[in-house]
Amino acid sequence: MERSEALAIVEPHLTKARFEHTVRVTDTALELADKYGGNLKTVELAAIFHDYAKYRDREEMRSWIIHEPLPKDLLEYHHELWHGPVGALLVEREVGIQDNDVLSPIRWHTTGKAGMNHLEKLVFLADYMEPGRAFPGVDDVRRAAKENLDYACWMVSKNTIRYLVSKNQRIYPDTFHAYNDLTKMLEDNKWREAING
């Protein structure tokens, strides 16, 4: 599927601002893939469809979670987390994309998880740091992304956890698992000074 076709499928499902965000995430993910490697077409499709279900009716998403093989504990957390897993399912069902290398980054782009693969990291990071984002810590992540993909993803996990704690919100377990896994990876690769700094 070509970029223009994928964007035409996604656009009716998004607000104007969210569609513009999607284009920026796609361009950022492609820049990261150019730097760190990764199949550009696969990364492009995953990024284009990452927010496919963002504005689906909440009860519709709840129904998908209840009746499909999706983690039921999602229902115990903020509905903002639902659009990743539900989106991956709907992109498969409605758009017909069967490639797990496209679907998996969509599934995990909000929470992350332990053992994220390369493509999952690219979309996870691109969604957080695309140029339209403006919040505390994002420029630090952008700088880190120029040096080390894992370190930048670790910063995203750390910042997300800090933000949710500051808002007294519950944190989905996979977000903790992503942080712990990335911390161990960086320690094992002698990035201890960076993560302790």
**Which residue segments constitute the domains of the chain, with CATH numbers given?**
3-196 (1.10.3210.10)
Kindly tell me the sign of the dihedral angle through the C-alpha atoms of 68, 69, 73, 74.
Answer: negative
Between CA 175 and CA 113 the distance in angstroms is: 6
**Residue-by-residue pLDDT tens, the chain, 197 positions:** 999 999 999 999 999 999 999 999 999 999 999 999 999 999 999 999 999 999 999 999 999 999 999 999 999 999 999 999 999 999 999 999 999 999 999 999 999 999 999 999 999 999 999 999 999 999 999 999 999 999 999 999 999 999 999 999 999 999 999 999 999 998 887 765 555 55
Which residues neighbour 192 within 8 Å (Cβ) at sequence distance 6 or greater? 186
∠ CA 186-192-195, nearest 5°, is 80
Structure tokens at 152: 């930048």
